[in-house]
Structure 1
Amino acid sequence: MSTSTISHGSSWPHLLVDSFANVASTTQSGKTIYGPWNRLLNTLFPPDTQFEVVPHYSISNDATDVMIFLLIYIETSPIFLVELKQPSDFRYSSKRQEADIKMRQCFLDCVDEMQIPVLHGVSVFGTKMAFYRLNKTSHVLEPRKIVPDRDRLTDIAPKDWWCWDILEEEGADKFRAVVEDVKAMCSGVIF
């Protein structure tokens, strides 16, 4: 399979790189961010294996703002979560807060169906990623929730949570490591 090098030496298949490049070069909203991430997840969790990538849609209070979740399952058990938001939303604290709240709700909805010890998730704005993980036994979800101050504005989903980029070497490596951890956990469970 042909690959292309993105900043700092990260390599992905050319079709995937082109898909992300098309998102970066367009001002359209809607499907733009969904395509590259769907392609990436179906590359890492191929459809001819036990994994199934299933889209879920969540509409916020602003009916024009659709949040897309791509949940990866084995049978009816969730094994990996990816939440997608448009890159233009990243600059707004309220959109990051909404993304964090939706991620936490999604983990809460999935915890009873978990069959692996840790459920990983990624919140995405374009190519920027924040990594989440839920321990099934302790029910501890990281990153820890930031409780807002009663009297002051509090950024409960700081920008630095999304410090990883899927098209940079460190971000791609971290994403691959999480996927490999998920696959290793799945290999030890009978579904």
Structure 2
Amino acid sequence: MPVLLLQVNSPDTLRWQSAREQADSENRRRLRDLRPLCPLLPKLYAVSAFCTKLRFYAATKTEGVVPPVSPCDPRTAFADTNPPNRWNSDVLEEEGANLPKQSVAEIIARIYLSDVKSKEEGANLPKQSVAEIIARIYLSDGALVRF
């Protein structure tokens, strides 16, 4: 079963560098911890939220956690490796509202695909087509999620 981790942070803490670092570190650690427990899943997902501001993560076997960790220059001890603009999807804006829908639609479709693959009687179904239909139903605007 595909996994989606949702981390909800206190809205007023987005301004604090330490809160952003902690949120980023926790999501990465949780995805790394879950990756070996879910060997059959191609991708695990995580969302970090500060009020309406979202940051998306994914973990695969080959790529690790995406987006990659921002490098820190050791000469600048106070470098902000997770500035507030990394939480750049706002669910109150059209583009930001569609990103969570697309992620959830992909998860729903993957659940269906993995369920069909595990059942003999479903072997003759057009799996990709059915998954796309499910994704379209979930997305209110009819946008298509590609896998």
Q: TM-score, normalised by structure 1?
A: 0.56
Q: CA deviation at 1:139?
A: 4.1
Question: What SS is found at the alignment partner of 1:110?
Answer: helix
Summarize the alignment of residues 21-36 of structure 1 with structure 2, pairs less than 5 Å apart. Answer: none
Q: Aligned partners of 1:112 and 1:183: how far apart in 2?
A: 22
**Distance in 2 of aligned mates of 1:110 and 1:166:** 27
AA of the residue aligned to 1:81: L
Structure 1 runs, 4 residues or longer, greater than 4 Å off: none
Query: Could you tell me which of 5, 10, 13 is aligned with 1:89?
Result: 13
1:127 corresponds to 2:52 = yes
SS in 2 for 1:130: strand
Match of 2:72 among 128, 135, 148: 148
Q: Distance in 2 between matches of 1:101 and 1:125?
A: 15
Residues 32 and 65 of structure 2 are in contact (CA less than 8 Å); yes or no, is this contact kept in structure 1? no
Q: Tell me the alpha carbon deviations over residues 48-92 of structure 1, each in whole angstroms, 9 at most, x when there is no partner.
A: xxxxxxxxxxxxxxxxxxxxxxxxxx4xxx611111101100001
Distance in 2, matches of 1:104 and 1:128, equals 18
Match of 2:84 in 1: 159
Deviation at 1:138, TM superposition (A): 0.2
Partner of 2:107: 182
State the Cα distance separating 1:147 from its structure 2 match.
Answer: 2.5
Q: Does 1:98 align with 2:98?
A: no
Gaps of 5+ in 1: 1-73
* Partners of 2:73 and 2:111 in 1: CA distance: 40
Shift, 1:133, TM fit: 0.9
Once the two structures are TM-superposed, the CA of residue 98 in structure 1 deviates from its matched residue by 0.7
Q: What SS is found at the alignment partner of 1:180? A: helix
* Kept in 2: contact 1:117–1:185 (CA 8 A): no
RMSD in angstroms over aligned alpha carbons?
Answer: 1.6
Which is greater in Rg?
Answer: 2
Give the count of matched residue pairs. Answer: 114
**1:161: how far off?**
1.3
Give the Å deviation of 1:113: 2.2
Aligned to 2:32: 108
SS at match of 1:189: helix
Q: Which amino acid aligns with 1:91?
A: R
SS across alignment from 1:149: coil
Distance in 1 of aligned mates of 2:99 and 2:9: 20
**What's the CA shift string for 1:24-53, capped at 9, x where partnerless?**
xxxxxxxxxxxxxxxxxxxxxxxxxxxxxx
Asked if 2 retains the 8 angstrom alpha-carbon contact of 1:116 and 1:189, the reply is: no
